[in-house]
Amino acid sequence: AQRVTQPEKLLSVFKGAPVELKCNYSYSGSPELFWYVQYSRQRLQLLLRHISRESIKGFTADLNKGETSFHLKKPFAQEEDSAMYYCALSSGAGKSTFGDGTTLTVKP
Amino acid sequence: KAGVTQTPRYLIKTRGQQVTLSCSPISGHRSVSWYQQTPGQGLQFLFEYFSETQRNKGNFPGRFSGRQFSNSRSEMNVSTLELGDSALYLCASSLAAGSVYGYTFGSGTRLTVV
């Protein structure tokens, strides 16, 4: 069975501070991992994929297979980063498992 | 290009009725997946369709069904509605099967069962 855990429901940081949203997963095979973001009154959208090794809007995420983690990081948070963030795992069999999400608030 | 389009945006139905939701994926995307989102359960996978075939199904009762047409548009149907079926139903399209490239989501259909 595959499982995604986001231990923090709420996370609050000040503008300019570093931010890390945690994601841990459980899966016996080689997972594909993603971060999705939902800004207020907008649809859920893909933020980044671990296979792309890209940085989107200053966010990066590194897959740590030893710790089975895929934490999302940004060195300097901006107010426009305030949103709901979901970590998701795909086994490739057509099903993605999502975490419960973390609401990030960046205070001015 | 146009995004994922879901219709209708809102629905109010009575217990026992049935409902059909529609999803048009991004042009060129042949995979369509459906998710149910509720405050208590989060995002739960319903099913995935690729090239008109259901590839995978989540842990939902048989009252939940779906199909995909040759133009990749998809519909999902819920029969004999229950109060617990009230949720946001999200459609997600992907370039290939298996969601390995990630999804593009629609805005969802908000279903309320009274």
According to DSSP, residue B32 is labeled E
Write the single-letter amino acid at B1: K
pLDDT reported for residue B1: 65
Of A36, A86, A95, Cβ closest to residue B58: A95
Contact B42 A34 (CB under 8 A): no
Higher pLDDT, A73 or A94: A73
Of B90, B92, B93, B94, the closest CA to residue B111 belongs to B90
Write the single-letter amino acid at B98: G
Residue B106 forms contact with A (CB below 8 Å): yes
Q: Is the per-residue pLDDT at A93 higher than 80? A: no
SS3 A52: helix
Q: Is the per-residue pLDDT at A9 higher than 90? A: yes
Please name the residue that has the structure tokens 């999902």. B76
pLDDT reported for residue B12: 98
Residues of chain B with pLDDT under 50: none
pLDDT reported for residue A50: 85
User: Is residue B104 a contact partner of residue B32, using CB atoms and an 8 Å limit?
Assistant: no
Query: Regarding beta strands A69-74 and B109-113, do their DSSP bridges make them parallel or antiparallel, or are they unpaired?
Result: unpaired
Name the pLDDT band for A92 (thresholds 50, 70, 90). confident
Who contacts A98 (Cβ-Cβ below 8 Å, separation ≥6)?
A4, A36, A86, A87, A88, B35, B42, B43
Of B42, B48, B102, Cβ closest to residue A94: B48
Name the pLDDT band for A91 (thresholds 50, 70, 90). confident
Q: What is the pLDDT of residues A61-79, one digit of tens each?
A: 988 989 999 999 999 999 9
pLDDT reported for residue A16: 97
pLDDT reported for residue A51: 80
pLDDT reported for residue A22: 98
Q: Is the per-residue pLDDT at A23 higher than 80? A: yes
